[in-house]
Amino acid sequence: MKKYSLIKTLALFIILLLIVIQFIDADTNIAVSVSANSLEKHYEVPDRVQSLLKNSCYDCHSNTTSYPWYNNIQPLKWWLADHVDSGKRHLNFDEFAAYSNEKKLDKLDEITETVQNGEMPLESYTIVHQNARLSASERSEIVQWAASVKKQIR
C-alpha cells in the first residue's frame, strides 16, 4: 500500500510541476523590423536562394522565428528558445553584414559544408517541418550562391 501511495504522490507532484512551469515564460525570437546588417541588404541573394534560406534556415539562424503550436507548452518552449539561441550564435543571417570578412568567409564555408553533407537543416527540424528538407538541386543552388558571395567578399 505504501508503494501505491508513493507513486500517487509522485505523479501528483509531477502534474503540479508541469502546470506551474506553464507560467514561466521564455524569450521569443521575433524581430520588429529587418536588421540593417541583414544578409540580403548587403549581398545579392537570388529570390530562389532567399526562399530556400528562409524556409530551411531562418527559424534558427535569423532574428525572426516562426514558432510551431507546441511552442506554447513548457518545457518545449525553453528547449526551442535554447535551440534558436544556439543557432543564432553559430550563424545569424540578420547580422551577417556585421561579421568581419574573415568570419563571413568562415560562415559561408560552414554553410557549404553543412548543406552539402546534409547536416543542415537538422533532421530534428525537418521531421516537423518537412517542407524545409532540401533536395540535391536545392543544396547545389545554396552552395553555388555561397561561392558567389565568397567571391564578392574577397
pLDDT in tens, 129-153: 999 999 999 999 999 999 999 999 9
pLDDT category, 39, cuts 50, 70, 90? very high
Percentage of the chain exceeding pLDDT 70 = 99
Mean pLDDT of 22-37: 79
Q: What is the mean pLDDT of the chain?
A: 90
pLDDT tens per residue across span 65-84:
888 887 788 888 888 898 89
Which has the closest alpha carbon to 48: 146, 142, 149?
A: 142
Which ranges in the chain belong to alpha helices (H)? 2-21, 39-42, 47-56, 76-90, 101-116, 123-128, 136-153
According to the model, what pLDDT value does residue 70 have? 79
97 to each of 41, 63, 92, 100, 116, how far by Cα in Å? 8, 14, 10, 8, 23
Mean pLDDT of 1-9: 78
According to the model, what pLDDT value does residue 126 have? 92
Contact call for residues 58 and 2 (beta carbons, < 8 A):
no
pLDDT tens per residue across span 75-110:
888 888 988 999 999 999 999 999 999 999 999 999
Domain ranges of the chain: 27-153
According to the model, what pLDDT value does residue 1 have? 58
